[in-house]
Amino acid sequence: MHAAITHHFLPIKIRADADAGVKKLPAQRTPPPAIISRAISGTADVQRIYVEDDVDDDSIAAFWDYQFLFVSQRAEAAEPVVLRAVEGAIPPDFPSGTYYLAGPGVFSDDYGSTVHPLDGHGYLRAFSIGGPSGEVKYTARYVATEAKEEEWDGEVGRWRFTHRGPFSVLRGGKKVGNTKVMKNVANTCVLRWGAHLLCLWEGGVPYKIEPRTLDTVGLFDVIGGEEEEGKEEERKGAGRALVDVAAGFLKPILHGVFKMPPKRLLSHYKIDARRNRLLLISCNAEDMLLPLSNFTFYEFDLNFKLLQKKEFSIPDHLMIHDWAFTDSHYIIFGNRIKLDVPGSMLAVSGLSPMISALSVNPSRPTSPIYLLPRFSEEGSSHLDKWRVPIEVPSQLWLSHVANSFEQKDDKGNLGIQIYAAACSYQWFNFQKMFGKRNIFGFAGYDWKTGKLDPSYMNAREGEESTLPHLVRVSVELNAKGDCQKCRVEPLYQWKRPSDFPAINPAFSGSRNSYIYTATSSGSRQFLPHFPFDSVAKINIVDGSVSSWSSRSRRFIGEPVFVPKGDEEDDGYLLVVEYAVSVQRCYLVILDSKRIGKANAVVAKLEVPKHLNFPLGFHGFWAPE
């Protein structure tokens, strides 16, 4: 089970109640479960019916559009395929390099089980751009994880899922008593650092990939599988002895029975461009079940030499997925959670995903931010300030960080700005997102049918602010390190649901002016907020916003910035467009300076139909 839940894919439900803000599907036209299951697994006749049928009811189109974002792609493209430009061309000044995109590739096996996309096996896509020919070459390979090698029978060409995974329930195979929960699928993030290409997952060791062939080299245990090394002073406090006893009891069970590593590297990394360092973070396996959170930060040079390691123990039950840093701080948004007793019983019995053992904890009206010192020395007057969290005056569940930076005035006062995507505790619900039909009602992921429905992220009218949206968090500290003010606000009144914020990577950790984010145009009646179909460019200095949108029934993933010149917005944006109505994927290249203008698209390149792939999670641009 992940200690940090991802926001990459949040399944969507059709509300059965008549007061839903998004209209439900007409009962007589709702596709039956058998058809849905076949559609998810990519059955050819279902795809043909969907594409060729004259769909004149937008609710039906919305349902099918969402299903086909997650059709399994079992084929690999081991040999590079030159992509055809259907619009524009690669400009001569486009930097040579490779765009890597991580994400899941298969969701249904050949024995009746369908897993949640977060448990789908990692499918790495690579677009090699530039060079003397100016071509774009596409390759795609499955990451040969231990779980993939067990669940894929290459001799007969069949999949049989044996791992439950943190977010899924098996239909075929063993459910009750199945301890195969930590299914390292290496599907979340991809990183090229120095000579190493890594695919990361939230609860396990990264996998090393050969950059050009995408062959899987093997596990790359960058933190060495180390045990907890908590300091004595961090173990003091009322009730800590009892927590230590519980941790000592849980560790051998989690590690020996459920095969969870003692420390689990989280999937989101940071790059300090000014210092040319890679920053990683891990947490302890037992943290998800105890009112204690242990975080270890690591900083590496380009050769993966460990330059710094710092540990922090926080007496609170927290879950994080993404985080931030500045010149002098690591920043953690504490998403508060608690053990859910009814959910735990269902999870242990195999009737609900393991993640339903947890739920958000809305007992406090605020959200904690921990400013953890990056370089403070022993004896510093600010050394212990981090132990008291700064309380943000709102219940915010943080999904992804765009950037953060700090500025100090001549009096020693410190101002910290954090730009991120966050949602409300009122909306975030593990049981509804990941459960099946049970005592909690109709949930987003139904393992019996494999059905994913489109209204959970398409909230009722007036409740859009509960969905993931961009916020700015401002913190002011005096010269003694005491918090003087903390406020949170929508990013310059940009209130549309948005996620996957990106910046020019050269400005990471430094003051920046532009944020690019995936968002929605709101043009679809039955899919007004998600999946995303637009890219917005937000000027955080003057508050201006410009956007580019794909055409009808086409969706997009995360935008990735490719720097070209010295100016912050001088470059290109890469984004994959999923044209579900024609079952095609396109690599779209946008001129970052032209966003909002008619000629924003520089080039659009088509992936052959037989290699059409499902929605990806996070990508990385690796220049030559």
Q: Which residues are annotated as a binding site for Fe cation?
A: 321, 400, 618
Strand partners, 85: 605
Give one DSSP letter per residue of 495-545, joined into a string: -S-EEEEE--GGGTTS--SEEEEEE-----SS-SSSS--EEEEEETTT--E
- CA-based R_g, the chain, Å: 23
- Are the C-beta atoms of residues 405 and 414 closer than 8 Å to each other? no
What are the tokens at 193? 């650092």
**Omega before 342 cis (within 30°)?**
no
How far is it, in rounded angstroms, from Cα 272 to Cα 301? 10
Exposure letters 181-209 (e unless 16+ CB within 10 A, then b): bbbbbbbbbbbbbeebbbbbbbbbbbbbb
Q: Which helix (H) or strand (E) holds 622?
A: strand 619-623
- Are the C-beta atoms of residues 458 and 480 closer than 8 Å to each other? no
How far is it, in rounded angstroms, from Cα 23 to Cα 57? 12
How far is it, in rounded angstroms, from Cα 53 to Cα 50? 6
Is residue 156 classed exposed, middle or buried when 0-12, 13-18 and 19+ CB atoms within 10 A define those classes? exposed
The binding site comprises 321, 400, 618
Give one DSSP letter per residue of 184-204, joined into a string: ----SEEEEETTEEEEE-TTS
Matching residue, tokens 């409300």: 424
SS3 of residue 172 by DSSP: coil
How far is it, in rounded angstroms, from Cα 93 to Cα 565? 10
Q: Which of 497, 507, 514 is nearest to 566 (CA)?
A: 507
* Backbone φ and ψ of 103, nearest 5°: 165, 175
The sign of the torsion formed by the CA atoms of 223, 224, 226, 231 equals: negative
How far is it, in rounded angstroms, from Cα 125 to Cα 101? 5
